[in-house]
């Protein structure tokens, strides 16, 4: 019903920036909030940020607050995660997901993208 495609991952140096994209499609994609998660090897999937299509509600995990910014494009089908001041501990596969507003548990998500790898070197 909802398809999500991430892009924009790659290699960055500590202190650098990357912008991730999550392109959404499907008849009812706008009825879901978009959430970003990340998962490093051997670790649990971690909540990063949430966005409602109205743009009224945005939420960030404490670990990225002040460094990452979530937004959407003019066509209203793509959510961006602008990542600034990157740190080596930000290295992970980043996933976008469609799920309930206010949810931060990965198990609550309804749809997932396949992920994009972000590697931050020190």
Task: Quote the pLDDT of residue 89.
Answer: 96
Task: Quote the pLDDT of residue 38.
Answer: 98
Length reported for the chain: 122
More confident residue, 101 or 116: 116
Residue 86 clears pLDDT 90, i.e. is over it:
yes
Q: What is the mean pLDDT of residues 51-55?
A: 85
In the chain, the percentage of residues whose pLDDT exceeds 90 is 84
Residue 29 clears pLDDT 80, i.e. is over it:
yes
- 3-state class of 30 per DSSP? helix
Residue 74 clears pLDDT 80, i.e. is over it:
no
The pLDDT-based confidence of 54 (bands split at 50, 70, 90) is confident
Alpha-carbon distance 3 to 92, whole Å?
A: 22
Q: What is the mean pLDDT of residues 31-50?
A: 96
């Amino acid at each position: 019903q909802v398809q999500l495609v991430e892009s924009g991952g790659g290699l960055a140096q500590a202190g650098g920036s990357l912008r991730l994209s999550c392109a959404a499609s499907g008849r009812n994609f706008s009825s879901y909030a978009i959430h970003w998660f990340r998962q490093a090897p051997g670790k649990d999937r971690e909540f990063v940020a949430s966005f409602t299509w109205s743009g009224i509600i945005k939420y960030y995990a404490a670990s990225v607050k002040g460094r990452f910014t979530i937004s959407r494009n003019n066509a209203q089908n793509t959510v961006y995660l602008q990542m600034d001041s990157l740190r080596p501990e930000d290295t992970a596969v980043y996933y976008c997901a469609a799920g309930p507003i206010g949810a931060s548990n990965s198990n609550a998500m309804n749809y997932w993208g396949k992920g994009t790898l972000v590697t931050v070197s020190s």
